[in-house]
Structure 1
Amino acid sequence: MEFRQLKYFVGVAEAGSFTKAAAQLNVAQSALSLHVRQMEEGFGTQLLIRDRTGVTLTSAGSKLLNHARIILDQVSRAEQELTSKVKSPSGEVTIGIPSGAARVMVAELLAIAKERLPRVSLKIVEGMSGPVEEWMAAGRFNIAILYKTVERPGDAEVLASEEFCLVGPPDQPPFEETIRLADLHAYPLAVPMRVNNVRRSVADVVALHGCTLDVRFEVDSLSSIISMVMDGKAYSILTPSAIQREVCLGQIRIVRIVEPAITRTVVLAVNPKDERSVEVNAVRALITEVVHLLAESGKWPTILPEVASASRSRVRASG
């Protein structure tokens, strides 16, 4: 017995004739007759009594009609519920975000999500990049913002790329707009622990070019590192997103690192078990939109993937 056959049988029984049912269902009368006959053969009993005036139900036909109406109603309810969920996602989505990215994007994300996804409850877990990456690998989040090196972005969706800068008090050297990688050793640094992705990204580039750093403090707290820099106790190496607020207030100054620049890629990772989740995919799309809005408005000094790709193409063309 097929779902379509149940629908046709109910249509014929309620219309009282094959002719009327064929017109209402927009199906050939011969096809309706064939399906009902196949059902009767399958059940081994007559369901309809046919005569010149139309059809009437047998005792077995009446029983089947009752069951068929219930089945069709349940299917209709399921379709409505699933369609409604796609149009208006609902549920809980947990997002892991490193402290730097959280400072620049969480407020915007929550504001837009409240308007666009009112039935989705967002839970934000902020932490240093190392622990966030570990927690995501352990399956604690539905979605996570992670940092990867440009050479190894993995399978995650690339959101943007950022450059690291030397961060220091506004009244302390260097007073130039840029500083060479080889000259960073002159500044005492407060940086995250060695397991932190930021620390690894910087250390890899520094080691590759045979340079050294004067690491005085290892602190796994972004707010503490920023406070130390503001108090003139140390410098640090961070991305503009992490200290955008303090830079705007004149509490911290950033100096671009050059020859070479140190970059990282910001990616969006989704827990494999949630890849088909309606609410998770809705939030995923919203995060991508928020990153674009922040980058284009200048609130997040970062480079979007298409811009970076175009830039690389121009370099290859000129070469």
Structure 2
Amino acid sequence: MEIRQLKYFVGVVEAGSFTKASALLHIAQSALSLHVRQLEERFGTQLLVRDRTGISVTASGAKLLERARRILKEIQLTEAELTNTVTSPSGEVTIGIPSGAARVLSGPLLESIRNELPRVSLKMIEGMTGPLEEWMAAGRFNLAVLYRTEDSVGRMTVLAREELSLVAPTDEPPFEDSVCLADLHAFPLAVPMRNNNVRRSVADVVAQHGCMLDVRFEVDSLSTIINMVIEGKAHSILAPSAVQKEAAQGLVRTVKIVDPVITRSVVLAVNPKDERSPAVSAVRKLIPKVARTLIENRHWSATAPDAG
């Protein structure tokens, strides 16, 4: 039994007729009929019923169809694995990315993957940092963009460093360009849940300096938090990149937090079991390049890892 015979058989069944299958598979209808007949002779049973409306499968044909699809799928996967080389990586790569970083990084990254790694299929899952951390730890991603404090980066690749800001409604205080950490207590806040890395980073710095925050709302949705600020219902503490679009449109203002500045690192983590995958390695090398280009072109309000 030849692989192409299985391919032709499945093609005929899925097309619904020999005529349509002939056009889709680019093979003469007579040749298709011959291959199916050879299969029927080999198995000693009828596989297809032909009538005026097209074809239908017999009970034996249904069994072969199920097995043939599995076999062809395994062959496809095997070919992908064997041709997935360092020089021409291919396959699916899954990456988790926080909502804030996704607003500046996802579009350019997808464009770069399409142009530079055309055989790689990128599956991107966006979410808040708490769930992303848990899913990465559970091995659900090949790669993940995460947030870390300076002392907890470890072996992960630093993509950028961001300074957190107070995000304020346009017509409410503070109206200065900066606000001291000790003065943040004056502003009602809408912030992510406690398992969020940004929330933890702020809480750690606040606790170290004996300050207080007026947390009115805990919301695990970046878009909801931003809308609450726009509507004047609360302030928030976010990275400027998370609200670049709204700030540029004059919908919100970003006020730099000082004394001290709250800095976080945007890092790239890789699942240890995927480190040797050519496709994962290729995407892993491309992401820092995309991030640096965004920073240099001022499309990402952050600093490069080796800048000052």
Query: Please, what TM-score do these two structures have when normalized by structure 2?
Result: 0.73
| Match of residue 268 from structure 1 | 268
- What SS does the aligned partner of 2:150 have? coil
How far apart are the structure 2 equivalents of 1:196 and 1:158?
Answer: 19
- Counting only pairs closer than 5 Å after superposition, residues 206-245 of structure 1 correspond to structure 2 as 206-245=206-245
1:151-176 CA deviation, whole Å, 9 max, x = no partner? 21122111111100000111111110
Deviations 1:208-254 (A, max 9, x none): 00000000000000000000000000000000111111011111100
Gaps of 5+ in 2: 1-77
1:25-82 Cα deviation digits (max 9, x unpaired): xxxxxxxxxxxxxxxxxxxxxxxxxxxxxxxxxxxxxxxxxxxxxxxxxxxxx9xx96
**CA-to-partner distance for each residue in 1:96-143, whole Å, 9 max, x for gaps?**
001000111100000111111111000000000111111100000000
Aligned to 2:268, the other structure's residue is in SS state strand
Question: 1:111-260 counterparts in 2 under 5 A?
Answer: 111-260=111-260
SS of the residue corresponding to residue 89 of structure 1 reads coil
Does 2:290 align with 1:277?
Answer: no
CA distance in structure 2 between the partners assigned to 1:300 and 1:157 by the alignment: 17
Q: Within 2, Cα distance between the matches of 1:113 and 1:153?
A: 26
Say which SS state the counterpart of residue 195 (structure 2) adopts. coil
What letter is aligned with 1:269? Answer: A
Instruction: Work out the CA distance in 1 between the residues paired with 2:172 and 2:233.
Output: 11
Give the drift of 1:196. Answer: 0.6
Alpha-carbon offset, residue 83 of structure 1: 7.5
Name the SS of the counterpart of 1:168 in structure 2.
strand
Aligned residues: 229
Amino acid corresponding to residue 264 of structure 1 in structure 2: R
Question: Of the two, which has the highest radius of gyration?
Answer: 1
Identity, % of aligned positions:
65
User: Take 2:187 and 2:214, find their aligned partners in 1: how far apart are those partners?
Assistant: 6
Q: What is the DSSP-based 3-state SS (H/G/I as helix, E as strand, rest coil) of the residue aligned with 1:161?
A: strand
Q: Normalising by structure 1, report the TM-score.
A: 0.70
CA–CA distance in structure 1, aligned partners of residues 295 and 214 of structure 2:
32
Q: Return structure 1 stretches of 4+ with deviation > 3 angstroms.
A: 81-84
1:177-204 deviation per Cα after TM superposition (whole angstroms, max 9, x unaligned):
0000000000000000101101000000
Residues in 2 aligned to 1:112 and 1:304: alpha-carbon distance in whole angstroms: 19
Shift of 1:85: 2.4
Structure-1 separation of matches of 2:285 and 2:253: 34
Secondary structure in 1 aligned to 2:139?
coil
Structure 1 residue runs of 5 or longer lacking an equivalent are 1-77, 312-319
Q: Give the equivalent residue in structure 2 for 1:103.
A: 103
Hey, what's the Cα distance between the residues in 2 that align with 1:93 and 1:259? 41
